[in-house]
């Protein structure tokens, strides 16, 4: 069951009415939107108690309720612990011993370093919350600093936190704060999705550091990242750094660069080489076979083709690229196979001609297989040579028998 009460100016009295419904053992409520409702500290305290008694809610939106003070948020976040604890001056002793909330939106609110530390400490003991949205928590006096973000991510290191997705859309973060986020993504493999859209205030140097730190780390597990409405001056040059950082990345599938009109065809041209390095079969095999989405904008045909190829079974993508770009144009690259040991060749020939999906001009890889065999006549003996070899084998077997 979903209940959308957003932008209704409910206030604290309505929160008291919601308490009975949310905490009822019979409720089947799973999604609750209370965004932009003039909720204050009294209201958040009432909701905190209700959430503590609820075991069905999985998604809660409390964004744009600026009347809740940092003290009110501290009380709420303390209740995200999956263990009993004291709630401070409101004396709530029973907390979310088995919280079911998986998605929480706290965007456009009064979040400070102290509040963030409480949230980090709470999430370190929370095994259910997977997605957290900080959108539009813009910079203001006493707002979150780089030290606050560092403390938050430090709390999660080595904890049982289930947090996987974080949204910083339109937060106005600065270069130092972006570096903190980059290091968190680099060192903590729990994160799979990150949204940094609508932060155009960041300079090129900050983004370059972010790309190199996040995407080249073997510990990073990011599968999706949103960078919409971020790049203006120098966007094409920055795309060269981004594409290069992704060259050997094995996890990122979606990189949303929508609504960045400053990226021209010159900027997009940096990606194909890293998705399919055609300099050799080995380099093509080591290319990026994971990234398959760059946004909703129109892309150059070659780049679109490579992204579509990367949507296929990862065990097959490299083969398809090699067949398509290396082995269908004749004997030029067949020398790579000539260097193989004789005992390896049967496997190579089987790999080349096996009946799997083939996107080239000939089905089932038969055209490349033909070129391979044509370039290696030594694999085939003439009739006379074969007969002579057969006589020798027969004579040798007779001598052994004697």
Local confidence band at 398 (pLDDT 50, 70, 90 cut-offs): low
79, pLDDT greater than 90: no
CB atoms within 10 A of CB 220: 22
For position 367, what pLDDT does the model report?
61
CA separation for the pair 366, 281 (Å, rounded): 18
Instruction: Give the model confidence (pLDDT) of 143-160 as tens digits.
Output: 789 999 999 999 998 888
Residues whose CB is less than 8 angstroms from the CB of residue 135 and which lie 6 or more positions away in sequence, other chains included:
63, 105, 107, 108, 167, 168, 169, 170, 171, 195
CA separation for the pair 134, 168 (Å, rounded): 5
For position 395, what pLDDT does the model report?
56
**The two structure tokens encoding residue 112:** 């400070």
393, pLDDT greater than 70: no
Hey, is 28 helix, strand or coil?
coil
For position 85, what pLDDT does the model report?
40
CA separation for the pair 361, 231 (Å, rounded): 39
Strands (DSSP E) contained in 24-123 are 31-33, 59-61, 103-105
Q: What angle do CA 397, 398, 400 make, to 5 degrees?
A: 65
Instruction: Give the model confidence (pLDDT) of 247-306 as tens digits.
Output: 989 999 999 999 999 999 999 999 999 999 988 878 888 899 999 999 999 999 999 999
78, pLDDT greater than 80: no
Q: Measuring CA to CA, which residue among 312, 233, 224 is closest to residue 275?
A: 312
Instruction: Give the model confidence (pLDDT) of 298-340 as tens digits.
Output: 999 999 999 999 998 877 888 788 777 766 555 555 666 666 6
Buried b (16+ CB within 10 A) or exposed e, 112-145: bbbbbbbbbbbbbbbebbbbbbbbbbeeeeebbb
Average pLDDT of the segment spanning 68-92: 63
Q: Give the distance, in angstroms, between the CA of residue 199 and the centroid of all CA atoms in the same chain.
A: 19
Q: Measuring CA to CA, which residue among 2, 21, 78, 82 is closest to residue 45?
A: 78
Strands (DSSP E) contained in 42-183 are 59-61, 103-105, 131-133, 165-167
For position 21, what pLDDT does the model report?
92
For position 213, what pLDDT does the model report?
95
Average pLDDT of the segment spanning 230-249: 95
Residue predicted with more confidence, 353 or 205: 205
Its pTM surpasses 0.85: no
For position 142, what pLDDT does the model report?
64
DSSP string of 223-290? -EEE-TT---TTHHHHHHHHHHHTTT-SS--EEE-TT-TT--HHHHTTHHHHHS-TT-HHHHHTS--S
86 in Cβ contact with 42 (< 8 Å): no
Residues whose CB is less than 8 angstroms from the CB of residue 229 and which lie 6 or more positions away in sequence, other chains included:
197, 198, 200, 259, 260
Q: What angle do CA 309, 310, 312 make, to 5 degrees?
A: 75
* Mean pLDDT estimate for the chain: 83
67, pLDDT greater than 90: yes
């Amino acid at each position: 069951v979903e209940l959308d009460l957003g932008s209704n100016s409910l206030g604290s009295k309505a929160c008291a009415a919601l308490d009975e419904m949310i905490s009822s053992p019979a409720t089947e409520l799973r999604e609750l939107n209370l965004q932009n409702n003039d909720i204050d500290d009294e209201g958040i305290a009432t909701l905190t108690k209700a959430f503590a008694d609820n075991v069905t809610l999985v998604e809660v939106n409390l964004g744009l309720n600026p009347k809740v003070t940092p003290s009110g948020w501290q009380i709420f976040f303390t209740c995200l612990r999956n263990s009993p604890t004291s709630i401070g001056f409101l004396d709530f002793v029973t907390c979310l011993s088995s919280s079911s909330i998986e998605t929480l939106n706290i965007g456009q609110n009064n979040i400070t370093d102290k509040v963030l530390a409480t949230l980090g400490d709470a999430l370190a003991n929370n095994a259910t919350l997977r997605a957290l949205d900080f959108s539009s928590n813009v910079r203001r006096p006493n707002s979150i600093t780089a030290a606050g973000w560092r403390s938050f991510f430090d709390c999660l290191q080595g904890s049982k936190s289930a947090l996987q997705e974080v949204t910083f859309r339109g937060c106005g973060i600065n270069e130092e704060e972006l570096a903190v986020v980059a290091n968190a993504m680099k060192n903590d493999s729990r994160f799979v999705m990150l949204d940094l859209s609508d932060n155009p205030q960041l300079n090129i140097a900050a983004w370059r550091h972010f790309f190199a730190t996040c995407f080249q780390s073997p510990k990073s597990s990011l599968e999706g990242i949103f960078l919409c409405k971020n790049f203006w001056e120098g966007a094409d040059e920055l795309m060269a750094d981004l594409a290069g950082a992704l060259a050997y990345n094995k996890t990122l599938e979606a990189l949303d660069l929508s609504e960045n009109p400053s990226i021209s065809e010159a900027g997009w041209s940096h990606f194909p080489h890293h998705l399919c390095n055609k300099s050799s079969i080995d380099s093509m095999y080591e290319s990026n076979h994971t990234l398959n989405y760059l946004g909703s904008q129109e892309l150059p045909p070659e780049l679109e083709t490579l992204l579509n190829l990367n949507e296929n079974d990862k065990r097959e993508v490299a083969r398809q690229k090699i067949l398509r770009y290396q082995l269908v144009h004749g004997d030029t690259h067949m020398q790579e196979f000539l260097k193989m040991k004789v005992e390896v060749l049967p496997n190579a020939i089987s790999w080349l001609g096996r009946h799997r999906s083939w996107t080239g001009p000939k089905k089932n890889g038969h055209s490349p297989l033909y070129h391979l065999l044509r370039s290696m006549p030594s694999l085939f003996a003439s009739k006379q040579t074969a007969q002579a070899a057969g006589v020798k084998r027969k004579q040798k077997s007779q001598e052994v028998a004697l």
